[in-house]
């Protein structure tokens, strides 16, 4: 597909990287000449230097022939305007990043009347992701497939877990649960395990299960923690606003600490049922006074990554069971992965990238590819992909044990109509099934490619 | 430095050379001449390539430095290996002769050490012309064009392209580098085929049409006759001259024309300067040589052909221009330096660079007149980045330094006259072919010593790769970690 990306900032850059590797024809428009040069040197893309909202630049970049036009510059207005112009010039689909909450109320209008295909609000997306962590406290990460019927959950194996020392082939018999361990990260290495694999303490385990059986599995594994009823949010950013609104709606007690008095006052006006405290969220005295140790969860959303990190560690040390930490710099996220127990790391930019990628992939599937969804798991070292088995799929009608798959590939789950099959040796794939495949260190674009 | 990756790229290049060597082998079979040397050598190059490319490096990332070093290394190895068939067939006895001949081929110079070209076997003649065709557009660009899709991921091959394709800035035509390379070779091949058809129409046989087209397309200039093009009909002379001029135009313009952007294509300043310089030169030379020819047509044809040949740095000839008036000769030497357009197979400094420097000089004069002047250098209505101007200026300075040193060295070793020394290096660094005096179109380069031949090989490579890759390869700091 021909994709045009306006803005070569952090989100733009990671989009460029991932989309060009996936084989799309990517064109970049960016005002900073130096940046254009590095992008063209680093990735297989073509670059144009200029204002992404300018008619001539767009025409030169070939907006007419583009399938998707993505605008992720720092300015909401430029993003909206360039998408409008691109749409009129003939871009088939347009995607804009719009972060101002005042605009986000008119997203439905922008989509229906202005013809924007997707409007992303990074703060809102981040808030939604944090809310999911709060709602499922035990999981580090949960991705959904097959319209929500299948879940791919990530857990960290603790010392006293029943999973410790368990051989995978015995897992189902011993625990009587319908789950399949499909990827394990042990220290730096990502392993796609076979039946003889033994789980150890400290492993980050991804397993697939049906949505319905997930609560039971969490219970069997001893992972069910008490429901989170109170949350302390530090930092009154936009993300905090969306998060507090959503969680308080779900009946959770929220306390929000914000340093700026004006901001705090505004938050108090806008939010009902939320206790807003004006003060320094990194002040030890204040935190004790507000009884941080009584909260079930703590979310650190200040502007400074380091502060958030220290805050999360402090909260964890005070016995807060679940902490969520916002990190803006992508490099830090990579260095931190899995370092702190019970802490989820949220990177708004990565979330934006992921949302756009998911959209682009969905669009390219319409254009003949059968891949439905794709998630990067374990910090991008492994990928989970959902395919639909077509008529000429070579897997059809053969028992999985008779298939010879490439190394580091596993079929994690199969969904047929409303039933979810957790694969066993005798399971067969049939036409029309949606098949979830996990791979490490390779990218496939067709289901047949998983065979040797 | 990613040594594994450099070796991998080298392996691919050797593979491409092996593949192209099959053509002379087949040619040898057709003409019933010895084909075994070519065939065996092609097979061994393919084997070496398989060995080097057997395992793809884990780390495929390359940076600017790896790009320059791979390109320089590839071209030297390519020439060393390409010289071997001439020795195997026994047509050349000295390694230096064979090396000079093939470097002259790959760099599209077209200077020869063979006195009697007609005495060479068909296979060797084809290999000479084919080496020019491959070297013209660039062997690494070819590798990129045929590289499987899976190999193109995650690697930064733009560095390779930038180091090999001539011009102050190198831009892609389409987002994907492999696709760009394919478009470039597509246009190149297409034009070559058109020329072959035109030449066949003019009464050449298939072998003649192919070899001449290869040498024209690459603006190389290896002929297969002792008189170069002089013995052919006026029709063929016009066809070859016109195609030389066409191949001296920036490929982007052909791409724009093919994609229907006619106005955008005609807006190129460099294109009009290129046409203008060529037209002026034709008129000046025609007037100056008028007395030596009978009739206007003869003088025009000679001037047109020679201007096309020298300006695009091909080096074919229809007349011995060493016998022309000095004004005509000086004009030709000037054209050697200017060269063709950027982004094509021609050598020389390039019209684009001359244009940029001229405009920059005008601006500098403006600064002297009005110390507070604000003015940018504009080409095609757009201001040129300061880095591009800086790069072009330093290119010219290094170019002059290398030119002067090489000329001094050559004159010192050969103790030849100044015109010979000066034009020999001119013709080598600009990849033209013939020079003046002792290296005129009627003479050859066989009389030079082995040292001078090696020196000229280096100068030709430096000229073809636009100086920096070779300098970087041999500067010790590039090899430090």
Closest CB to A42 among B156, B174, B178: B156
Q: Give residue B334's pLDDT.
A: 94
Q: Which of B185, B203, B230 is the last residue of a domain?
A: B230
Interchain contact A441–B (C-beta under 8 A): no
Number of folded domains in chain B? 2
Given an 8 Å threshold on Cβ–Cβ distance, is A41 in contact with B157?
A: no
Q: Among positive and negative, which fits the CA dihedral B179, B185, B187, B193? A: negative
Nearest CA in chain B to A28: B175
pLDDT tens per residue, range B370-405:
988 888 888 888 888 888 899 899 999 999 999 999
Other C-beta atoms lying within 10 Å of the C-beta of residue B401? 11
CA atoms within 13 A on the CB side of B214: 24
Least CB–CB distance from A25: residue in B64, B158, B175: B175
A270 touches chain B (CB under 8 A): no
Ranges of residues in chain B with a pLDDT under 70 are: 149-155, 167-170, 481
Structure tokens at B467: 């100086």
pLDDT of residue B481: 64
φ, ψ of residue A5 to 5 degrees: the values are -120, 125
| Range list of β-strands (E), A21-112 | 25-30, 46-49, 68-71, 93-97
Neighbours of B70 (CB within 10 A): 28
Q: Do A41 and B177 touch (CB under 8 A)?
A: no
Minimal C-alpha gap between B170 and chain A (Å): 11
Q: Is A142 on the interface with B (CB under 8 A)?
A: no
Burial of B250 per CB tally in 10 Å (0-12, 13-18, 19+)? buried
Nearest to A82 by CA among A50, A109, A108: A50
- Alpha-carbon distance of B344 to A275, in angstroms, equals 70
In CATH terms, the fold of domain A230-320 is: Rossmann fold (3.40.50)
Residue with tokens 């200017």: B338
User: Residues spanned by CATH 3.40.50.720 within chain A?
Assistant: 2-120, 230-320
Which residue from B149, B159, B174 is facing A41, i.e. has the nearest CB?
Answer: B159
CA triplet A41, A46, A48: central angle to 5 degrees?
A: 105
Cβ–Cβ below 8 Å for A41 and B156: yes
- Class in CATH terms, A370-450: alpha beta
Q: Is residue A162 within 8 angstroms of chain B, CB to CB?
A: no
Interface test with chain A among B175, B255, B267, by most A beta carbons within 10 Å:
B175
> For residues B250 and B312, what is the distance between their CA atoms, to the nearest angstrom?
11
Edge-to-edge, what's the strand order for the sheet holding A2-6? A46-49, A25-30, A2-6, A68-71, A93-97, A118-120
Residues of A in contact with B149 (CB under 8 A): 23
Residue in A with minimal Cα distance to B384: A33
Contact A41 B158 (CB under 8 A): yes
Report the residue from B64, B152, B385 with minimal CB separation from A44. Answer: B152
Closest Cα to residue B425, out of B307, B340, B333, B320? B333
Give residue-wise pLDDT tens across range A421-445.
888 778 888 887 888 888 887 767 7
Domain that holds residue B438: 385-479
- How far apart CA B335 and CA B301 sit, in angstroms, is 17
Q: How far is CA A358 from CA A68, A118, A212, B140, in A?
A: 13, 11, 24, 36
Write the residue in B156, B174, B385 that is nearest to A46 by C-beta. Answer: B174
Residue B304 to residue B241: CA distance in whole angstroms: 7
What is the structure's pLDDT at A366? 53
Cα separations (Å) of B150 from A112, B187, B300, B472?
Answer: 40, 25, 53, 30
- What fold does the segment set A129-220 form as a domain? Alpha-Beta Plaits (3.30.70)
Residues in chain A closer than 8 A to B153 (CB atoms): 21
pLDDT of residue B456: 94
The three-class DSSP label of residue A152 is: strand
Q: What is the pLDDT of residues A329-358, one digit of tens each?
A: 877 776 776 566 667 788 888 888 888 887
Tokens 């070559």 belong to residue? B192
Give me the residue label for tokens 């007149």: B369
Q: Does A63 reach chain B within 8 Å, measured CB to CB?
A: no
Tens-digit pLDDT string for chain A (452 aa): 899 999 888 888 888 888 888 778 899 999 888 888 888 888 888 888 888 888 888 888 888 888 899 999 988 899 999 999 898 888 888 999 888 877 877 878 887 788 888 888 888 888 888 887 787 766 666 777 766 678 888 887 877 777 788 888 887 777 777 788 888 888 778 888 887 888 888 788 888 888 778 777 877 777 666 678 889 999 888 889 989 988 888 888 899 999 998 988 988 888 888 888 888 888 888 888 888 888 888 999 998 888 888 888 888 888 888 888 888 887 777 677 656 666 778 888 888 888 888 788 767 665 444 666 667 777 667 888 888 777 777 778 788 888 888 888 888 888 887 788 888 778 888 887 888 888 887 767 777 777 77
Name the domain boundary from B230, B261, B287. Answer: B230
Q: Is B466 left (phi over 0), alpha (psi -120 to 50) or beta?
A: left
Q: What is the pLDDT of residue A6?
A: 93
Count Cα atoms within 13 angstroms, Cβ side, for A427: 15
Distance from CA of A347 to the nearest CA of B (A): 24
Q: Is A46 an interface residue toward B (CB < 8 Å)?
A: yes
Per-residue tokens: A274: 């939320």
Chain A residue closest to B178 (CA)? A44
Smallest Cα distance from A390 to chain B, Å:
24
- Give Cα separations from A323 to A236, A241, A256, A299 (angstroms): 17, 18, 14, 6
Across the interface, which of A20, A33, A44 has its CB nearest the CB of B385?
A: A33
A41 in reach of chain B (CB within 8 A): yes
The Cα–Cα gap between B94 and B83 comes to: 10
> A106, A40, A50: which is closest to A78 by C-alpha?
A50
Query: CA of A78, closest CA in chain B: separation in Å?
Result: 24
What is the distance between the alpha carbons of residues B411 and B407, in angstroms, rounded to a whole number? 6
Contacts of B171 in chain A (CB under 8 A): 46
Chain B residues whose CB is inside 8 A of the A20 CB are: 175
Residue A128 in tokens: 């939604």
Interface test with B, best of A38, A45, A46 (most B CBs within 10 A): A46
- Answer yes or no: is B335 within a domain: no
E-state strands within B177-240: none
Q: Name the pTM for this structure.
A: 0.78
Q: How far is B335 from B311, CA to CA, in rounded Å?
A: 5
Contact B175 A26 (CB under 8 A): yes
What gap in Å lies between CA A352 and CA B45, rounded to an integer? 50
Question: Which residues touch B357 (CB under 8 Å, ≥6 apart)?
Answer: B392, B393, B396
C-beta of residue B96 within 8 angstroms of C-beta of residue B447 = no
CB contact under 8 A, B175 and A27: yes
- Put simply, the answer to whether B157 touches A25 (Cβ < 8 Å) is no
- Nearest-CA neighbor of A147 among A389, A438, A436, A422? A436
The pLDDT value recorded for residue A204 is 81
Q: Which residue of B has its CA nearest to A66?
A: B175
Query: Residue A428's pLDDT is what?
Result: 84
**Positive or negative, the Cα torsion across A275, A280, A281, A285?**
negative
pLDDT of residue B62: 81
Q: What pLDDT does B244 receive?
A: 94
Q: Which residues of chain B lie closer than 8 angstroms to A25, CB-CB? A: 174-176, 179
Cβ–Cβ contact A306 with B under 8 A: no
Nearest C-alpha in A relative to B158: A41
Sheet holding A297-300, edge to edge: A274-278, A253-258, A230-234, A297-300, A322-326, A343-346
Query: How many C-alpha atoms does B107 have within 13 Å on its Cβ side?
Result: 35
**Residues of A in Cβ contact (< 8 Å) with B170:** none
Domain A2-120: give its CATH superfamily.
Answer: NAD(P)-binding Rossmann-like Domain (3.40.50.720)
Q: Do B176 and A25 touch (CB under 8 A)?
A: yes
List the beta bridge partners of residue A181: A207
Handedness of CA B281, B165, B15, B145 (dihedral sign): negative
The reply to whether ipTM tops 0.85 is: no
**Spatial distance between the Cα atoms of A137 and B16, rounded to a whole number of angstroms:** 58
pLDDT at B331: 94
The DSSP-derived string for B250-276 is: -HHHHHHHHTT-HHHHHT-HHHHHHHH
Residue B123, sorted as left (phi over 0), alpha (psi -120 to 50) or beta, turns out to be alpha
Shortest Cα–Cα distance, A42 to chain B (Å)? 6
Secondary structure letter of residue A228 according to DSSP: P
The residue among A24, A32, A44, A65 with the most chain B CBs within 10 A of its CB, best to mutate, is A44
Give the separation between CA B112 and CA B98, rounded to whole angstroms.
Answer: 10
The verdict on A415 touching B (C-beta cutoff 8 Å) is no
Contacts A44 to B, Cβ<8 Å:
152, 157-158, 175-178
Q: Is B431 helix (H, G, I), strand (E, B) or coil?
A: coil
Helix, strand, or coil (residue A155): strand
Burial of residue B403 (number of CB atoms within 10 Å: 0-12, 13-18, 19+): buried
- pLDDT at residue B308, rounded to an integer: 94
Measured in whole angstroms, how far is the alpha carbon of residue A152 from the centre of its chain?
Answer: 12
Whole-angstrom Cα distance, residue B379 to residue B360? 11
In chain B, residues with a C-beta closer than 8 Å to the C-beta of A42 are 156
């Amino acid at each position: 597909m021909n994709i045009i990306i306006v803005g070569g900032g952090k989100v733009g850059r990671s989009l460029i990287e991932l989309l060009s590797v996936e084989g799309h024809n990517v064109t970049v428009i960016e005002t900073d000449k130096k940046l254009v040069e590095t992008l063209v040197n680093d990735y297989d893309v073509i670059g144009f230097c200029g204002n992404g909202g300018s008619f001539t630049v767009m025409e030169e970049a070939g907006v007419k022939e583009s399938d998707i036009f993505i605008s992720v510059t720092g300015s909401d207005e430029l993003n909206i305007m360039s998408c409008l112009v691109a749409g009129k010039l003939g871009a088939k689909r347009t995607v804009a990043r719009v972060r101002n909450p005042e605009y986000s109320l008119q997203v439905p209008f922008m989509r229906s009347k202005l013809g924007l295909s997707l409007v992303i609000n990074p703060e809102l997306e981040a808030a939604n992701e944090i809310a999911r962590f709060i709602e499922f406290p035990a999981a580090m990460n949960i991705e959904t497939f097959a319209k929500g019927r299948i879940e791919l959950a990530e857990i960290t194996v603790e010392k006293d877990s029943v999973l410790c020392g368990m051989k995978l082939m015995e897992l189902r018999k011993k625990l009587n649960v319908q789950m399949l361990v499909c990827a394990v990260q042990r220290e730096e290495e990502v392993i796609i395990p076979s039946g003889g694999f033994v789980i150890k303490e400290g492993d980050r385990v991804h397993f697939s299960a049906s949505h319905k059986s997930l609560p039971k599995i969490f219970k069997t594994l001893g992972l069910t923690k008490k429901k989170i009823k109170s949350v302390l949010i530090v930092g009154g950013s936009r993300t905090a606003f969306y998060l507090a609104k959503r969680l308080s709606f779900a009946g959770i007690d929220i306390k929000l600490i914000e340093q700026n008095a004006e901001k705090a006052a505004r938050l108090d006006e806008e939010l009902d049922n939320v206790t807003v405290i004006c003060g320094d969220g990194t002040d030890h005295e204040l935190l004790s006074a507000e009884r941080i140790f009584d909260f079930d969860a703590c979310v650190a959303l200040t502007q400074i990554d380091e502060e958030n990190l220290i805050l999360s560690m402090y909260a964890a040390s005070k016995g807060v069971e679940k902490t969520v930490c916002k990190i803006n710099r992508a490099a830090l996220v990579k260095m931190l992965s899995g370092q702190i127990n019970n802490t989820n790391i949220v990177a708004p930019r990565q979330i934006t990238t992921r949302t756009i990628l998911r959209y682009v992939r969905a669009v390219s599937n319409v254009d003949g590819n059968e891949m439905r969804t794709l998630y990067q798991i374990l910090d991008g070292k492994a990928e989970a992909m959902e395919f639909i088995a077509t008529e000429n799929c070579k897997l059809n009608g053969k028992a999985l044990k008779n298939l010879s798959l490439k190394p580091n590939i596993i079929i994690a789950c199969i969904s047929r109509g409303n039933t979810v099959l957790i694969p066993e040796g005798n399971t067969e794939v049939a036409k029309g099934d949606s098949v979830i495949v996990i791979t490490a260190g390779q990218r496939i674009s067709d289901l047949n490619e998983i065979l040797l | 430095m990613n040594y594994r990756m450099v070796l991998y790229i080298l392996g691919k290049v050797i593979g491409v050379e092996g593949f192209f060597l099959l053509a002379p082998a087949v040619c040898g079979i057709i003409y019933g001449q010895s084909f075994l040397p070519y065939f065996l050598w092609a097979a061994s190059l393919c084997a070496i390539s398989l060995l080097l490319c057997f395992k793809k490096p884990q780390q495929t990332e390359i940076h600017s430095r790896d790009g320059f070093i791979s390109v320089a290394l590839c071209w030297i190895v390519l020439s060393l290996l390409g010289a071997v068939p001439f020795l195997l067939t026994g047509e050349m006895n000295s390694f230096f002769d064979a090396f000079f001949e093939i470097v002259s081929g790959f760099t599209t110079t077209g200077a020869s050490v063979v006195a009697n070209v007609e005495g060479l076997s068909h296979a060797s003649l084809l290999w000479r012309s084919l080496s020019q065709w491959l070297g013209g557009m660039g062997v690494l660009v070819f590798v990129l064009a045929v590289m499987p899709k899976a190999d193109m991921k995650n690697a930064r091959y733009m560095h390779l392209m930038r180091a090999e394709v001539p011009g102050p800035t190198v831009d892609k035509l389409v987002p994907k580098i492999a696709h760009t390379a394919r478009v470039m070779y597509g246009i190149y091949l297409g034009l070559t085929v058109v020329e072959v058809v035109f030449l066949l129409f003019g009464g050449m046989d298939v072998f003649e049409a192919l070899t001449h087209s290869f040498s024209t397309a690459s603006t190389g200039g290896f002929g297969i006759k002792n008189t170069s093009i002089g013995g052919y009909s006026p029709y063929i002379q016009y066809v070859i001259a016109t195609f030389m001029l066409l191949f001296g135009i920036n490929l982007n313009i052909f791409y724009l024309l093919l994609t229907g952007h006619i106005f955008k294509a005609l807006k190129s300043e460099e294109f009009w300067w290129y046409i203008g310089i060529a037209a002026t030169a034709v008129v000046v030379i025609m007037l100056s040589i008028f007395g030596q020819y009978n009739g206007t047509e003869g003088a025009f044809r000679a001037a047109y052909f020679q201007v096309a040949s020298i300006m695009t740095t091909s080096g074919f000839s229809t007349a011995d221009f060493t016998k022309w008036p000095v004004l005509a000769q000086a004009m030709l030497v000037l054209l050697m330096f200017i060269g063709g357009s950027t982004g094509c197979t021609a050598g020389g400094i390039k019209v684009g660079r001359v244009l940029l420097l001229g405009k920059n000089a005008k601006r500098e004069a403006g600064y002297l007149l009005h110390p507070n002047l604000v003015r940018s250098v504009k080409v095609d209505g757009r201001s040129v980045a300061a880095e591009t101007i800086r790069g072009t200026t330093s290119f010219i300075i290094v170019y002059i330094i290398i030119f002067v040193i090489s000329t001094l060295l050559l004159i010192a070793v050969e103790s030849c006259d100044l015109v010979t020394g000066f034009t020999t290096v001119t013709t080598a660094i600009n990849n033209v072919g013939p020079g003046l005096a002792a290296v005129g179109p009627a003479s050859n380069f066989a009389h030079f010593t082995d040292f001078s031949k090696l020196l000229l090989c280096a100068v030709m490579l430096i000229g073809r790769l636009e100086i920096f890759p070779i300098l970087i390869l041999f500067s010790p700091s590039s090899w430090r970690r």
